[in-house]
Amino acid sequence: EDQVTQSPEALRLQEGESSSLNCSYTVSGLRGLFWYRQDPGKGPEFLFTLYSAGEEKEKERLKATLTKKESFLHITAPKPEDSATYLCAVQNAGNNRKLIWGLGTSLAVNP
């Protein structure tokens, strides 16, 4: 069964303190792995798509990487506005297009 596990569940950082979030997955053929950000009371907001092991994507202070078993979201010198829940999802290579989601990592960045 396709599954996504994210760790840690929650993370508190000081402004400027870099860290990484983990997303481990098992899927019957990976079509893509996706990172989303969700703010309280809002829907998820797309960040990155990764398709194959070794691929990396960057956006401002965020960098996502992918291996055959997991993905990392690296946050460099975070700011308070980076506080949010970060969600990881995968799409398998079958005929359907549904996303399978992890529970997310709740990130709080203190000024």
Partner 1 sequence: EAGVTQFPSHSVIEKGQTVTLRCDPISGHDNLYWYRRVMGKEIKFLLHFVKESKQDESGMPNNRFLAERTGGTYSTLKVQPAELEDSGVYFCASSLDLDTGELFFGEGSRLTVL
28 makes contact with partner 1 (CB under 8 A): no
Under the binding rule (CB under 8 A), the answer on residue 79 touching partner 1 is no
Does 85 bind partner 1 (CB under 8 A)? Our answer is no
Least Cβ distance, residue 11 to partner 1 (angstroms): 18
By the rule CB under 8 A, 89 interacts with partner 1: yes
Residue 59 CB, nearest approach to partner 1 (Å):
13
Contact between 17 and partner 1 per CB under 8 A? no
Which DSSP string corresponds to 71-111? EEEEE-S--GGG-EEEEEEEEESSS----EE---EEEEEE-
CA distances from 14 to 37, 39, 49, 52 (A): 19, 19, 27, 32
What separation, in Å, do the N-terminal and C-terminal C-alpha atoms of the chain show? Answer: 41
Contact pick of 29, 60, 97, 111 for partner 1 (by CB under 8 A): 97
Name which position in 29, 41, 54, 111 contacts partner 1 (CB under 8 A).
Answer: 41
Do residues 109 and 21 lie in contact, with contact meaning Cβ atoms separated by under 8 Å?
no
64 binds partner 1 (CB under 8 A): no
46 binds partner 1 (CB under 8 A): yes
Query: CA 77 to CA 97: how far, in whole Å?
Result: 35
